[in-house]
């Protein structure tokens, strides 16, 4: 550590000891890594997150073909764009879709901008949003729906407001303190029963108490739901 500090401060090492070339190169690399990590943490208050799909990168043992899901491919591409731009990722060629799972989270794929309760912004291509209200990592799911035995088949009772589209677009998901998550942008919700609902905006229940899941019906106020 003393060696690294001296190197960064431009002090003459020869007073204390003589370094060989390898030692100098190692110290230089360590100083660069530290500078890089500092500049990354200062990036405009925006953070970049990705919620990995476990099936990403898999190759079918039977066909030998790439068996990545659409969301995994989108995630790969997002990472490449992120590396190139060092900023907001470019629009990906995938529509925004949300699978309302049976007794589990809402799995959203697309060009997602997530606005947290504190106003911080994150980008993602895949999010698993808690629907049961018990996650310790709200708004994302941490698997608590299993322990809490969250029962909801994921039926969708509302009708579409607009037509579905394969065109890519952006969606902004905002977390409301002690309330739902809202979305703005085309979102196609679907479930295991073949039901679907396409909307441009809406409020999604994350307290687990709504009678019209996956949408919020205001029950979070009645039940005193707390998000943090
Ligand atoms: S967040 Fe569940 S009813 Fe509003």
**pLDDT digits over 39-83, tens only?**
333 333 344 444 433 333 444 444 445 555 666 666 666 666 665
Q: Determine contact, residues 154/161, Cβ cutoff 8 Å.
A: no
In terms of Cβ atoms closer than 10 Å to its own Cβ (0-12, 13-18, 19+), residue 117 is middle
Pocket test for ligand 1, best of 158, 210, 211, 224 (most atoms within 8 A of CB): 210
What integer best gives the mean pLDDT of the chain? 76
209 CB within 6 A, ligand 1? yes
Please tell me the predicted confidence (pLDDT) of residue 21.
57
Take residue 96 and report the two structure tokens written for it: 């925004």
Is residue 81 domain-shared with residue 164, that is, in the same domain? yes
Is residue 131 domain-shared with residue 182, that is, in the same domain? yes
Q: Determine contact, residues 73/146, Cβ cutoff 8 Å.
A: no
The Cβ of residue 164 has, within 10 Å, a number of other Cβ atoms equal to 14
List, for the chain, all residue ranges whose pLDDT scores fall below the cut of 50: 1-19, 23, 26-27, 29-64
Is residue 23 domain-shared with residue 66, that is, in the same domain? no
Is residue 62 domain-shared with residue 174, that is, in the same domain? yes
Is residue 89 domain-shared with residue 16, that is, in the same domain? no
202 CB within 6 A, ligand 1? no
Is residue 33 domain-shared with residue 104, that is, in the same domain? no
Contacts of 222 (CB under 8 A, 6+ apart): 209
99 CB within 6 A, ligand 1? no
Please tell me the predicted confidence (pLDDT) of residue 67.
53
Provide the number of structural domains found in the chain. Answer: 2
Is residue 31 domain-shared with residue 59, that is, in the same domain? no
DSSP state letter for 179? S
| pTM of the predicted model as reported, rounded to 2 decimal places | 0.66
CA 226 to ligand 1 centroid distance, Å: 11
Is residue 77 domain-shared with residue 25, that is, in the same domain? no
Whether 228 is covered by a domain: the verdict is no
Is residue 67 domain-shared with residue 180, that is, in the same domain? yes
Handedness of CA 73, 75, 81, 83 (dihedral sign): negative
Is residue 7 domain-shared with residue 68, that is, in the same domain? no
């Amino acid at each position: 550590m003393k060696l690294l500090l001296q190197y960064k401060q431009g002090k003459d090492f020869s007073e204390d000891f003589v370094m060989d070339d390898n030692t100098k190169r190692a110290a230089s690399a360590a100083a660069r890594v530290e500078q890089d990590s500092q500049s990354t943490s200062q990036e405009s208050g925006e953070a970049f997150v990705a919620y990995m799909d476990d099936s990403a990168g898999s190759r079918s043992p039977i066909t030998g073909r790439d068996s990545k899901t659409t969301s995994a491919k989108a995630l790969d591409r997002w990472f490449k764009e992120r590396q190139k731009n060092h900023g907001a990722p470019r629009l990906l060629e995938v529509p925004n879709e949300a699978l309302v799972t049976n007794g589990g989270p809402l799995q959203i794929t697309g060009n997602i901008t997530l606005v947290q309760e504190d106003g911080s912004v994150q980008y993602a291509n895949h999010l698993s949003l808690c629907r049961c209200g018990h996650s310790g990592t709200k708004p994302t799911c941490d698997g608590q729906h299993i322990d809490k035995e969250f029962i909801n088949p994921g039926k969708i009772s509302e009708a579409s407001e607009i037509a579905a589209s394969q065109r890519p677009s952006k969606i902004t998901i905002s977390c409301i303190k002690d309330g739902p998550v809202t979305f703005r942008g085309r979102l196609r919700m679907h479930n295991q029963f073949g039901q679907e609902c396409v909307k441009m905006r809406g409020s999604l229940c994350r307290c687990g108490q709504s009678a019209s899941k996956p949408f919020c019906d205001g029950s979070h106020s009645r039940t005193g739901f707390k998000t943090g």
